[in-house]
Amino acid sequence: MLKFACAYKMGGDYNIDDVVCLSRQVKAQLSIPHEFVVLSDDPDLVSTSYITVKKLDQDKWWGWWCVIEVFRLTGPTFFVGLDNIFMGGLDGVGKLALTCPFDEIYMARPQPMALKRGDLYSSAMMIWNGDWRWIYEQLTPKHIKRFVGEEKYTSWQLHRNNCKVRFFQDYHTGFYSYKNDLLRRFNGRVPEDAQIITFHGHPRPSQCKERWIQDIRNRGSLHAC
């Protein structure tokens, strides 16, 4: 069965409400049979009839390092960060995961500033099938000291092992950045074909005042408003 996964660690910008808001969107927009899985260290976040909670193996992760644990999950898996809003149906994403070759992986193309820094891939969204646990299992304390975050470590592992990486944006349309696209290019307007909005950096979705953002977070989709 398709797994829709996210990771949430206490002490950062996110909380249980962000997980619940994401789960509402997935439940409302993904008709393909799936399991919503969250890896977390928050004892107050418990499994429900829809949300499956898996405890993080490590409780000392800092920054975004907890994301590396999503590779504990075998595919087909679609991972997304909590800093995303879904505007349209998610069935297209689900089909990408179900048809993803076992020896390939989808990652997001980095934002312009990250590309200038030399970043290869972004882990804001990832899709894989089969078993990719080796990425997590080969992580050592030396890697954590060497790399700024899990994204750079994952990119390094994929590159050194000659893994074929597909850019998510090349196979799924309607992918936009809240800051780079909506605010700067479109003066706050939401493009008609928008399906996924990523909120890299600040503000986080919960900090935005736009009615449409909060409607999606609270009700799962604009169609349900």
pLDDT digits (tens, 9 = 90+) for 174-221: 999 999 999 999 999 999 999 999 998 889 999 999 999 999 999 998
Distance CA 128, CA 150 (A): 16
Q: What is the CATH number of the domain that holds 144?
A: 3.90.550.10
Query: Confidence band (pLDDT; 50, 70, 90) for 163?
Result: very high
Tally of domains within the chain = 1
Q: Is the dihedral of CA 71, 67, 20, 32 positive or negative?
A: negative
For the chain, give the percent of residues with pLDDT over 90.
80
Q: Which of 22-26, 77-81, 149-153 has the lowest mean pLDDT?
A: 149-153
Dihedral through CA 54, CA 60, CA 63, CA 66, nearest 10?
A: -30
Label the pairing between strands 84-86 and 196-198.
antiparallel
**Tokens standing for 144?**
């954590």
Q: What is the mean pLDDT of residues 29-55?
A: 97
Cα angle vertex 98, ends 93, 102, to 5°?
Answer: 120
- The pLDDT tens digits for 84-137 are 999 988 999 999 999 999 999 999 988 766 666 767 788 989 999 999 999 999
Q: What's the whole-model pTM score?
A: 0.93
Give the range of the structural domain holding residue 172, as residue numbers without chain letter.
2-224
pLDDT of residue 3: 98
Q: What is the mean pLDDT of residues 31-47?
A: 97
pLDDT of residue 225: 44
